[in-house]
Structure 1
Amino acid sequence: MSWFVYVAVTLLSLVQGNPTVRSSQQQAPPAAGQSIGYVQQQQSTLQYNKMESKPALTPAETMPVEELDPSHYPARRAAHVAQHYLNTQHGSPFKLLGVDRVVSATLEKIAGVGMKYFVVFALKEMITNEPMGQCSTEVLYPIGEEQAPPQVQCSCDGLLQIDTKAHEEALYQQLKASDSLVSGHNIPDSYGFIAPEMKPFWHLGGVASSFVMLKESNESTLYNMAQVVNVTQQESQDKELTFQYHVLLHEMVSQEIIHWKLLVSWCPAEGVRVLQTEWQPKCHHCVAPPSNTTLTLYSPS
């Protein structure tokens, strides 16, 4: 009987095969959906890490701020750019603003942007020679393939202390009521003389020229108006008076004399505007004006 049982057990094991033993700690392979999710998670993590590896954008690099000698050309040039800017904003036939002296100046080189000057200067009204306090200005000369006008920010503490409205209104009404149109030429003349009745038009020419000098300025220029070759009042039905100017600008670094024609409008309410500008071909026969003539640009009346 025992032999029979032994044979039966042996035959049963041969039919079913050996049992497989699985460790309770071995994990089953992930289901199909779980595997895809795992791959997607890995891809997302890699993409996130890749994005994090990009360098962050940084502001334009700046060089250390350099102190400038207030009496040297770089500081004076930047201050005169601010002077031109102020005249385009506040100038009139009876108000012409100018730099009295430069108090302090610094230069900051901004990589990829340009050269920024910070200048403090004393301002004065050039017709009356009256001091008008101090101005603080930032002048940025942009860099680029083509020259761009300087960018100017300026604040002054005494711009409103001189009131010229009464003089401006009187001249305006006189010109509106006149039957003849004003004209003049060679202001000043070869002796530096300006007829009293032409001084407002000399000053108006200086203000109008400031629009051109501001636009044409760069780090290597220093502009002044040397002479009004001629000025002619134009017929106008508008409230604004219109004048055609031909002026000589003196670029004092190169000693070049540059001709410009300007169409200028003015009235007390709207101020000075330059409607048209036309650069004239270089004059090979022109020479720099005498120093006394150049200085009379902003001479007191």
Structure 2
Amino acid sequence: MQTGELNPHHYPAQRAARAVQHYINTRYGSPFKVFMINKVHSGNAEDINNAGRKYQLEISFQEIISNSTHKCSAEVLFPRGEIQGSPEVSVLCEELETLNTTKDDEALYQKLKTRQSMVVAQNLPDSHGHIDPDMKPLWYLGIVASSFIMLKESTENTLYNMAQVGNVTQLATETDELKFDYFILLHDMVSQEIIRWKLQINWSPLEGVKVQVSPRESLLFCQCNRGRVL
């Protein structure tokens, strides 16, 4: 692996930046607040003895719902060893703390909490790339929740993206949090594997997003075209 200054457009910098993206979503994400990489401005990598490889990055992130852009400094340490743990990420970006979606989150929470029937949806997006507007918050919640998996599974040899929410089912709960079962499809753009995961998601505006992950349900191999499963 290259050390020193990195080309921000090449895989090493992009993989480290993607780990930062997932970290930010796990910390700040909600059905109305989802972060994606806008641009990697610069990157540097160095070997840290036997600990692993540390990346220092300057990145701009886009919050895709408000279409706002935020520049952050980040460090990512990919551990070294036979059993690789999750990357260690730290981010300096005070702007993330100022994004307030409480009003939208609370409105969605009350709508779902008071429904007479539980929400059930499949194939977000569908084969034509369409998502019903009422289902978009659940699609965004799936993106945020999938970041918990992708952060945990990320290494210097992976580059994950969420391809689709296969299905989502709202569950009855006696707590204040809403609860959902999700089946999601993750695409590793390096190996071209499509991986199916089952998640149980608890969410409320007060408590944020919490995720319980089941083992991989299946491993599928596919050809992919522009991020869409064929």
* TM-score normalised by the chain length of structure 2: 0.95
* 2:37 maps to 1:102: no
- Going by fraction, where is helix more abundant, 1 or 2? 1
* 2:164 maps to 1:189: no
* 2:197 maps to 1:249: no
SS at match of 2:31: coil
Structure number with higher relative contact order (C-alpha < 8 Å, ≥ 6 residues apart): 2
Give the number of equivalent residue pairs. Answer: 228
Task: Please give the alpha-carbon distance, in whole angstroms, between the structure 2 residues aligned to 1:120 and 1:83.
Answer: 12
AA of the residue aligned to 2:110: Q
1:124 corresponds in structure 2 to: 62
* 2:7 maps to 1:69: yes
2:138 corresponds in structure 1 to: 201
AA of the residue aligned to 2:4: E
CA RMSD of aligned residues (A): 1.5
1:42 corresponds in structure 2 to: none
Task: Please give the alpha-carbon distance, in whole angstroms, between the structure 2 residues aligned to 1:78 and 1:67.
Answer: 13
What is the aligned-residue identity percentage?
A: 49
Residue deviations 1:193-225, cap 9 Å, x none?
A: 000000000000000000000000000111110
Task: Please give the alpha-carbon distance, in whole angstroms, between the structure 1 residues aligned to 2:212 and 2:177.
Answer: 12
1:57 corresponds in structure 2 to: none
Residue correspondence of structure 1 range 146-157 to structure 2 within 5 A = 146-157=83-94
Q: 2:29 aligns with which of 75, 91, 103?
A: 91
Task: Please give the alpha-carbon distance, in whole angstroms, between the structure 2 residues aligned to 1:288 and 1:125.
Answer: 29
1:291 corresponds in structure 2 to: 226
AA of the residue aligned to 1:191: H
C-alpha distance 248-256 of structure 1, shift in aligned 2 (>3 A)? same
1:215 corresponds in structure 2 to: 152
Q: 1:224 aligns with which of 161, 164, 180?
A: 161
C-alpha distance 289-185 of structure 1, shift in aligned 2 (>3 A)? farther
- Is the Cα contact below 8 Å between 2:36 and 2:62 reproduced in 1? yes
SS at match of 1:79: helix
- Is the Cα contact below 8 Å between 1:191 and 1:293 reproduced in 2? no
> Which entry has the higher C-alpha Rg, 1 or 2?
1
- Going by fraction, where is strand more abundant, 1 or 2? 2
User: Structure 1: which 5+ residue stretches go unaligned?
Assistant: 1-63, 295-301
C-alpha distance 292-172 of structure 1, shift in aligned 2 (>3 A)? same
Deviates more, 1:205-214 or 1:156-165: 156-165
Q: Displacement, 1:292? A: 5.7
AA of the residue aligned to 2:203: W
User: Structure 2: which 5+ residue stretches go unaligned?
Assistant: none
- Is the Cα contact below 8 Å between 1:250 and 1:288 reproduced in 2? no
